[in-house]
Amino acid sequence: MRDFLAKWTARAGVLKGVLPLNRAAAMRDTLAGVQLASMDIPQVLGYARIAGMPAVTGLYTVFLPLIAFAFFGASRQLVVAADSATATIFASRLASMAPVSSAEYASLAAMVALLTAALLFVARIFRLGFLADFLSRTVLVGFLAGVGVQVGIAMLGDMLGLPGHASRSVDQLLLVVREWAQLNRPTLAVSVLVVASVLFFKRVRPRVPMPLIAVVGGIVASDVYGFAAHGIAVLGPVAGGLPPLRMPSVTWQQALDLVPVAASCFVMIVAQSAAASRVFAERHHQVADTNADLLGIAAANAAAAFSGAFVVNGSPTQTAMADRAGTRSQFAQIVFAAVVVVVLLFFSRFLQYLPRCILASIVFTIAVGLVDLKTLFAIRRESPGEFALAVFTAAAVVLIGVEHGILIAVAVSLLRHVRHSYRPHTMILEPGDDGMWVPVPAVPGRHTAPGLIVYRFGADLFYANDHFFVDDTRRLIDHAPTKVRWFVIDASAITDLDYSAARSVGELCTALKRSGIHVIFARVNRYLRSDMDRHGITPIVDASCIFGTLHEALRAAGVEEPADK
């Protein structure tokens, strides 16, 4: 029976993250799932607060969505649930369309989840998992730092017991400053105690579920001492029972307005989920299947949409928590979902006594964790330019908004890549102190040997950098110490040549030949040779002047001295 089940699931492409599973592994993951639930349930309640949704919907995100990903996903470690980044993305837009926590707001949030699921499903069909590579780690660090700052600012009102709430971070800060005199001291005292306790135990005893202790202790203290009577706001009645299954009810115009929001969530989900699944797959010597995970996350978001929840994401933070708890398959997440069912059926009524300041304080500690100062300082030491991009992205998220910030993050990542390709490093071979030829920056006035320049271009040739290639070549030849007779192009970094670049290269080679300069291509790979043949460059240069190695090219130029050791 076990063999039949394994063969059926392998053929159907389901339960990849669960099977194979023996009795010992099931017991280990059961204990890990219970421990994960104790740490994560308070967090998903906080994420519901970030999302502007009723607290119980945070629990909904770790019920059916968890089961859906376990069934269709491939990663054995990835935890798919509510996440601060995606919650902030759609909350910033939905707050302007409907009152927070209202029935209309919940329907809009469910529709965002459904649209996100559709985009993820399309991405799976067309195998677009590679899109995650276009969001660099540097920009992602900056984006998450910006989200952390924005979420932290948004929680200040509840932590201080101040009335009112603003959707923009700057407006929220101004609101806190204006209403500072109205802060509630008992609320502030509870907030400081919770933040200090959570951060302290996270550092010295990370396995202690301090957020859960804070939630349970806050509920008991609120009930016994009547926090509400002392001006400490509480959640109020929380719906219990399993989530009702229904289709999100929105108009066509509202659905169209939500497409950009879903697209922003889609980008963040692909980037974060792929990064998390790859990191933990490598840690446990497994193979990451990004495209299969896209299907799993699409199913999870569809489950969230139909169960009254909101967008779920493959969370790096919660996946790290699961790994520390000892999970080694998605069976632990199924156990987690079972614990949530118990809470929904028997304990949800106690959540009404939970002080809002405790929930806000837990969310604040989550926001603090998103600002990875250690990584930011490491980026600053190694690459000041990339550090500036990270800070710019973080500032854009805080000042402009998360929805636009994620789009800026993608644009900045792509622009940085294009910039490297547009202005690549170029070099020439030049005699070193020991007489051997070494690569040095291609600066006018240098040459390899009298009458010879060996030039290396550090990127593919395409329409945006072909003029740079041509201009750089002409400058080197015009300012050479002696008249150039041989110009050798080291094409080791060139794997592609588009139509525009081919025209420019062909015209350059023709002009150089008319000037009595022999052009030779060295280290030409099969892909570049195919492009040269197709675009008609081979006849211009002459096939006898195209070589697979630099040694052969130098010999053709009448140079016997080797170019390197």
Which segment of 1-5, 104-108, 137-141 scores lowest on mean pLDDT?
Answer: 1-5
Q: How far apart are CA 458 and CA 493, in angstroms?
A: 5
Identify which has the larger pLDDT, 380 or 385. Answer: 380
Identify which has the larger pLDDT, 366 or 253. Answer: 253
Q: How far apart are CA 202 and CA 223, in angstroms?
A: 27
- Alpha-carbon Rg for the chain in angstroms: 30
Identify which has the larger pLDDT, 37 or 508. Answer: 508
Does residue 277 have a pLDDT over 70? Answer: yes
Q: State the residue for tokens 């509480």.
A: 234
Q: State the residue for tokens 């072909």.
A: 466
Q: What per-residue confidence (pLDDT) applies to 86? A: 85
Whether a cis peptide bond, with omega within 30° of 0, leads into 20 is yes
The encoded tokens of residue 187 equal 């609320």
- Taking the mean position of all CA atoms in its chain, how far away is CA 155? 24
Q: Tell me, what DSSP letter sits at residue 518?
A: E
Q: What angle do CA 301, 304, 305 make, to 5 degrees?
A: 90
Does residue 23 have a pLDDT over 60? Answer: yes
- At 234 the three-state DSSP class reads strand
Q: What per-residue confidence (pLDDT) applies to 219? A: 86
Q: pLDDT averaged over the chain?
A: 84
The encoded tokens of residue 294 equal 């896209």
Q: What per-residue confidence (pLDDT) applies to 563? A: 43
Cα–Cα distances in Å, from 67 out to 29, 334, 340, 514? 15, 6, 12, 70
DSSP letters for 78-110: --EE--HHHHHHHHHHHTTTS-TTSHHHHHHHH
Q: How far apart are CA 194 and CA 225, in angstroms?
A: 17
Element (DSSP H or E) covering residue 437: strand 437-441
Q: How far apart are CA 497 and CA 426, in angstroms?
A: 17
Instruction: Write the pLDDT tens digit of every residue in 324-357.
Output: 677 888 898 899 999 999 989 888 788 788 888 8
Identify which has the larger pLDDT, 384 or 111. Answer: 111
Q: What per-residue confidence (pLDDT) applies to 560? A: 61
Does residue 463 have a pLDDT over 70? Answer: yes
User: In the predicted model, what is the mean pLDDT of residues 147-159?
Assistant: 83
- Taking the mean position of all CA atoms in its chain, how far away is CA 124? 17
Amino acid code (one letter) for 437: W
Q: What per-residue confidence (pLDDT) applies to 131? A: 67
Q: What per-residue confidence (pLDDT) applies to 167? A: 63
**37 within 8 A of 27, measured Cβ to Cβ:** no
Q: Tell me, what DSSP letter sits at residue 129?
A: G
- At 120 the three-state DSSP class reads helix
Please report how many Cα atoms fall inside a 13 Å half-sphere around the Cα of residue 232, on the Cβ side: 26
Q: What per-residue confidence (pLDDT) applies to 565? A: 41
**469 within 8 A of 504, measured Cβ to Cβ:** yes
Instruction: Write the pLDDT tens digit of every residue in 541-558.
Output: 999 999 999 989 988 888
Pairing between strand 452-457 and 486-490? parallel
Does residue 493 have a pLDDT over 60? Answer: yes
Cα–Cα distances in Å, from 112 out to 83, 260, 330, 439? 14, 9, 25, 53
Domains of the chain: 21-417 (no CATH), 424-556 (3.30.750.24)
Cα–Cα distances in Å, from 561 out to 171, 401, 521, 554? 69, 60, 18, 8
**149 within 8 A of 169, measured Cβ to Cβ:** yes
Would you place residue 106 in the very low, low, confident or very high pLDDT band (cuts 50, 70, 90)? very high
Which segment of 265-274, 471-480, 531-540 scores lowest on mean pLDDT?
Answer: 265-274
Q: How far apart are CA 389 and CA 452, in angstroms?
A: 40
User: In the predicted model, what is the mean pLDDT of residues 220-237?
Assistant: 81
Does residue 462 have a pLDDT over 60? Answer: yes
Tell me the pTM: 0.69
Does residue 10 have a pLDDT over 80? Answer: no
Would you place residue 193 in the very low, low, confident or very high pLDDT band (cuts 50, 70, 90)? very high
Which segment of 10-14, 377-381, 414-418 scores lowest on mean pLDDT?
Answer: 10-14
**55 within 8 A of 368, measured Cβ to Cβ:** no
Q: What per-residue confidence (pLDDT) applies to 1? A: 46
Does residue 5 have a pLDDT over 60? Answer: no
User: In the predicted model, what is the mean pLDDT of residues 468-479?
Assistant: 94
Identify which has the larger pLDDT, 389 or 488. Answer: 488
Does residue 359 have a pLDDT over 60? Answer: yes
Give the rounded percent of residues in the chain with a pLDDT score beyond 70: 91
Q: What per-residue confidence (pLDDT) applies to 236? A: 74
| Surface-to-core class of residue 103, CB atoms within 10 Å of its CB (0-12 exposed, 13-18 middle, 19+ buried) | exposed
